[in-house]
């Protein structure tokens, strides 16, 4: 495996933003991952793992360490169980599962990135997420020892898992899917893709920049008094961050090459030459506006690697 030096990371992210990695490698096997770890230990480098780069904002200064881009492509079907390498593209997994007569991943329609990144962030939509289909996870622990854990040990919650708490490296995941009506599932996927195309920008971004905001029963009156049409959100008990940003009049707000999408207010897009700095300033501006207007503290869904 080749370990390269000074590799610009922007092309490896969906935001198309980010400076160089001091060292960079593409790990296509567990042996490659181990070789990369040994290299990092010898040089005393910090390690950062890349999946599809679809949930990341990389600083303009880049990453002063070793970036391991995981390219573990195992994909094995047995009845309704799937063993999948962390580097497999989520969209490819969804398509292959449907081809094997398996449903249950339709919630992943249109989510870019890899299985490893999706499990770490418990990626999802429509009230479902990776934790709902995960059975077992093979990973390297903080001492880079090979371990296994079941989904019940993985602390899955809204856009959260144990892999955000600890520096574990996911290698492979076993998923449990269902054998049910494939035509219904394929139609759902088609509809959801069309919906995304109509409601989300095509420009480079990292998806939703902020998490939606959970609220408690006790807060409802106060939120209503701030002008939030809270009744619309009672069913999900979450206020969409996009609703607040649009209501605050921030659609189209631009700093340098970073812009709040006109199509979906919770997306910051790179209009061409955006720097990480532009995104950071725009994000702080949005947070301050939403805090001042509604007393709500937005929390980033995108990981800012600064
Ligand atoms: C247009 C667009 C739409 C999106 N829509 C959605 C959506 O509907 N729902 C949703 O949840 N997300 C959505 N996202 C966000 C993003 O696609 C998901 O968070 C995705 O799961 C990230 O996976 P990735 O492989 O790209 O991770 P990366 O961005 O590469 O990495 C994210 C984090 O995971 C870590 N990581 C990656 N692989 C591993 C591994 N194998 N082991 C340990 N850590 C790892 C990285 O170090 C980093 O900390 C969207 C993004 C875009 C650009």
Pairing of strands 258-260, 268-270: antiparallel
pLDDT at 21: 98
**Which ligand 1 atom lies nearest to the CA of residue 170?**
42
**Which ligand 1 atom lies nearest to the CA of residue 201?**
1
Our answer on whether the CB atom of 55 is closer than 6 Å to any ligand 1 atom is yes
CATH (residue range 75-185):
3.30.465.10
User: Which residue's alpha carbon is nearest to atom 9 within ligand 1?
Assistant: 124
The CA 121 to ligand 1 mean position distance, Å, reads 6
279: helix, strand or coil: helix
In a mutational test of the pocket of ligand 1, which residue from 48, 111, 269 has the highest number of ligand atoms less than 8 Å from its CB?
A: 111
pLDDT, mean over the chain: 97
The CA 118 to ligand 1 mean position distance, Å, reads 5
Our answer on whether the CB atom of 212 is closer than 6 Å to any ligand 1 atom is no
Q: How confident is the model at residue 252 (pLDDT cuts 50, 70, 90)?
A: very high
pLDDT at 244: 98
136 to each of 28, 82, 175, 202, how far by Cα in Å?
A: 21, 10, 7, 34
Tokens of 162: 């144990």
pLDDT at 3 over 90: yes
64: helix, strand or coil: strand
Q: How confident is the model at residue 286 (pLDDT cuts 50, 70, 90)?
A: very high
> Whole-angstrom Cα distance, residue 9 to residue 2?
16
Question: Which CATH entry fits the domain spanning 4-70: 2.30.38.10, 3.40.50.1360, 3.40.50.800, 3.30.43.10?
Answer: 3.30.43.10
51: helix, strand or coil: coil
CB of 215 closer than 8 Å to CB of 238: yes
- CATH 3.30.43.10 range(s) for the chain read 4-70
CB of 207 closer than 8 Å to CB of 55: yes
User: Which residue's alpha carbon is nearest to atom 50 within ligand 1?
Assistant: 207
pLDDT at 236: 87
> Whole-angstrom Cα distance, residue 283 to residue 306?
14
**What does the pLDDT look like over 201-246, one tens digit per residue?**
999 999 999 999 999 988 999 999 999 999 999 998 999 999 999 9
CB of 37 closer than 8 Å to CB of 1: no
User: 201-305: what CATH class?
Assistant: alpha beta
User: Which residue's alpha carbon is nearest to atom 47 within ligand 1?
Assistant: 49
125: helix, strand or coil: strand
Tokens of 245: 């940003």
User: Which residue's alpha carbon is nearest to atom 35 within ligand 1?
Assistant: 117
- CATH 3.90.78.10 range(s) for the chain read 201-305
pLDDT at 120 over 90: yes
**What does the pLDDT look like over 156-205, one tens digit per residue?**
999 999 999 999 999 999 999 999 999 999 999 999 999 999 999 999 99
Percent of the chain exceeding pLDDT 70 equals 100
The CA 223 to ligand 1 mean position distance, Å, reads 31
- Name the pTM for this structure: 0.95
**What does the pLDDT look like over 36-90, one tens digit per residue?**
999 999 999 999 999 999 999 999 999 999 999 999 999 999 999 999 999 999 9
Give counts: helices (H), strands (E), the chain.
8, 20
């Amino acid at each position: 495996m080749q370990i390269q030096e000074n590799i610009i990371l922007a092309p490896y992210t969906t935001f198309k933003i980010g400076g160089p990695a001091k060292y960079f490698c593409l790990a296509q096997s567990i042996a490659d991952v181990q070789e990369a770890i040994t290299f990092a230990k010898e040089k005393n480098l910090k390690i950062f793992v890349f999946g599809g780069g679809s949930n990341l904002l990389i600083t303009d200064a880049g990453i002063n360490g070793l970036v391991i881009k995981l390219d573990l492509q195992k994909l094995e079907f047995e009845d309704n169980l799937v063993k999948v390498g962390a580097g497999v593209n989520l969209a490819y997994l969804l398509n292959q599962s449907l081809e094997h007569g398996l449903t249950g991943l339709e919630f992943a329609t249109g989510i870019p990135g890899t299985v490893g990144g999706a499990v770490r962030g418990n990626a999802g939509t429509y009230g479902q997420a990776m934790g709902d289909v995960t059975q077992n996870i093979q990973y390297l622990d903080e001492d880079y020892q090979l371990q296994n854990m079941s989904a019940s040990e993985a602390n899955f919650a809204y856009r959260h898992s144990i892999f955000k708490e600890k520096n574990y490296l996911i290698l492979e995941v076993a998923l449990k899917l269902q054998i049910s009506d494939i035509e219904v599932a394929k139609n759902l996927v088609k509809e959801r893709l069309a919906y995304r195309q109509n409601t989300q920008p095509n420009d480079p971004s990292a998806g939703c920049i902020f998490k939606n905001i959970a609220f408690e029963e006790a807060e409802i009156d106060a939120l209503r008094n701030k002008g939030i049409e809270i009744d619309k959100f009672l069913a999900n008990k979450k206020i969409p961050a996009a609703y607040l940003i649009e209501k605050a009049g921030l659609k189209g707000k631009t700093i340098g090459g970073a812009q709040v999408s006109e199509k979906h207010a919770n997306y910051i897009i790179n209009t061409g030459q955006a720097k990480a700095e532009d995104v950071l300033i725009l994000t702080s501006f949005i947070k301050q506006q939403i805090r001042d207007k509604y007393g709500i503290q937005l929390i980033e869904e995108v990981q800012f690697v600064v």
